[in-house]
Structure formats: structure tokens, C-alpha cells
Amino acid sequence: MSSGVECDDDVANIYKEFKMMGKSSVKKRAIMFKFNEDFTRIIHDKNEDFITLMGTTPDMTHTAEYHAFLSKLPVNDCRYIIYDVEGQRNDGCPTSGISLLCWVPEQTSVRKKMVFASSKDALKNKLQGIKLKVHVESLDDNGWDEMQDRLKKC
């Protein structure tokens, strides 16, 4: 079921820039998208200053970085998150993949959850190359192990 929500024009361009950053030394680990005020468009969440710092702390593991990132997400509002996750395949070789995390905290209103769930396809259709899709509701059920297990099989 479609909600009628559309993606903002710059969503695909922001995603392309994000993918190109993988080839540079300065890189963001994630980008976020949210709804505009009247729930008619999916827009870039520009309030993501903490994301820029990810990957710049040499003593922080990728797992710790991910958990620190999740702890800064809103507790009562949904977000679509494009996250570049790293892991190891079953043969021990390093691998990575772009993941779509659907952040849907339990405290979010039923209306927001319904619009969020029915609008995900509008975003997925704009973004090519996503390996993993993970639903995350809380810091305890954070999707990290699921992403790592799925990366092992890629």
C-alpha cells in the first residue's frame, strides 16, 4: 500500500554523493531522511552533525560507532537511515554494504508508523545498490547482529 508520500528531488543526488564518498579518504558512515512537516515528502535530515564525526575516532570500533550513532536518534520519531556497514564474510575476508535502516521507535505515534511503513518503497525506488534492509525499534533491538550475519553471506 502506497501512502502517496514522494521523495524530495535531492534525495537521489544526496545518496549518489554518499556512495561516491566511499572512494575518498573523508567519508560519512550514514545519511538520514525524514518526513517534512506535513508528511507529504521524504527529505534529507540535515540535523546530522554527529554523523560527520563517525570514522574519525581511531580507537572506536565500528560496532561502538554504530551504537553511539543509534543513541543520538530521536526516541519518538522515525528515520530512514542509509548506513555503510563493514564486516567479514564467512571466509574471513572484509566486506561492506550499504544498508537501509528503518528506525521506528516504540514511542512513535501509530499514525507516523503507518505512514512510515507505507512510504518505504518510495525511498527504496530512488536508491539503487542497497544490500541490506533492517528494521530497528530500540537500542536493545538494534539490528547490528542481523546486519553482520547477512554480510557474512554476501
Rounded CA separation 120/88 (Å): 28
Q: Quick check: is 145 in a domain? A: yes
pLDDT score of 154: 61
pLDDT band at 136 (very low <50, low <70, confident <90, very high): confident
- The CATH number for 65's domain is 3.40.20.10
| Enclosing domain of residue 68 | 6-152
Q: Quick check: is 1 in a domain? A: no
Q: Quick check: is 78 in a domain? A: yes
Q: Quick check: is 70 in a domain? A: yes
Share of the chain above pLDDT 90, in %: 32
Rounded CA separation 83/28 (Å): 9
How many domains, in total, are found in the chain? 1
Name the region of 118 (left: φ>0; alpha: ψ -120 to 50; beta: rest).
alpha
Q: Quick check: is 138 in a domain? A: yes
Instruction: List pLDDT tens digits, range 81-97.
Output: 998 888 888 888 888 88
Rounded CA separation 36/58 (Å): 35
Instruction: List pLDDT tens digits, range 89-128.
Output: 888 888 888 889 999 999 999 999 999 999 998 898 899 8
- pTM for the predicted model, two decimal places: 0.84
Q: Quick check: is 88 in a domain? A: yes
